[in-house]
Amino acid sequence: GNGFVQTFKRDEVLQENCAICIHRNPVVYDELLGELVTEQQNVDRYPDVRRIEAMISDERWQFFEELIAPCIRCYACRNACPLCYCPTCFVDESRPQWVGKSIDRTDTRTFHFLRAYHCAGRCTDCGACERACPVGIKVRQFTKKLEKDVLELYGYEAGMNLDERPPLDTYRPDDPEWFIK
């Protein structure tokens, strides 16, 4: 306002998930407002996942332990997630009780791992979980690996077709099985 202009560098304000997004135009919509924009080409969406995959088992465990250490179990990530719409979330269930109510490391770890697997094959990498986290946990680190695996193993990308069910929600006799150990 009134002659005031502030300039930002794109990399300083662009969310990580937006920087690697290959679907800049809506894929599913009722009415499209505005013009289509050029889609990004040749985007490496998984460098962070490959870095984690390259770690030995103990390093990966330590990485995730440090990642979730600041978690205060406020459930902001769950509450912001468009996939979390179960009538009763597993963390709120008391019979059986899947996760304790404390901020015990085991309960915190269980929450994050179960939530990631619950969203596997359905997460569109919208980033709402990370934006909502008051302590800045990179929650997407949990779901990106699962997103990559579902894409590579089943050729499925969440949110692209409303009529197609997620591969972990269905079974087909010709499903790949070579990776099951």
What is the pLDDT at residue 108? 93
Number of domains in the chain: 1
Distances (CA, A) of 80 to 31, 133, 146: 25, 9, 19
Residue 170 resides in a domain: no
150 SS3 class: helix
What is the pLDDT at residue 35? 93
Residue 8 resides in a domain: no
What is the pLDDT tens value at each position of the chain, 181 positions in all?
A: 678 888 889 888 888 888 898 999 999 889 999 999 999 899 999 999 999 999 999 999 999 999 999 999 999 999 999 988 888 888 888 888 888 888 889 999 999 998 998 888 899 999 999 999 999 999 998 899 999 999 999 999 999 998 988 888 888 888 888 877 6
Residue 150 resides in a domain: yes
Residue 20 resides in a domain: no
* Tokens 């997103």, located at residue: 147
Residue 175 resides in a domain: no
Residue 21 resides in a domain: no
Residues 6+ away with beta carbon under 8 Å from 145: 49, 52, 53
Residue 179 resides in a domain: no
Distances (CA, A) of 152 to 148, 155, 177: 6, 6, 13
What is the pLDDT at residue 1? 62
Strand spans (E) along the chain: none
* Tokens 């924009």, located at residue: 37
Residue 11 resides in a domain: no
Q: Domain range spanning residue 105?
A: 46-164
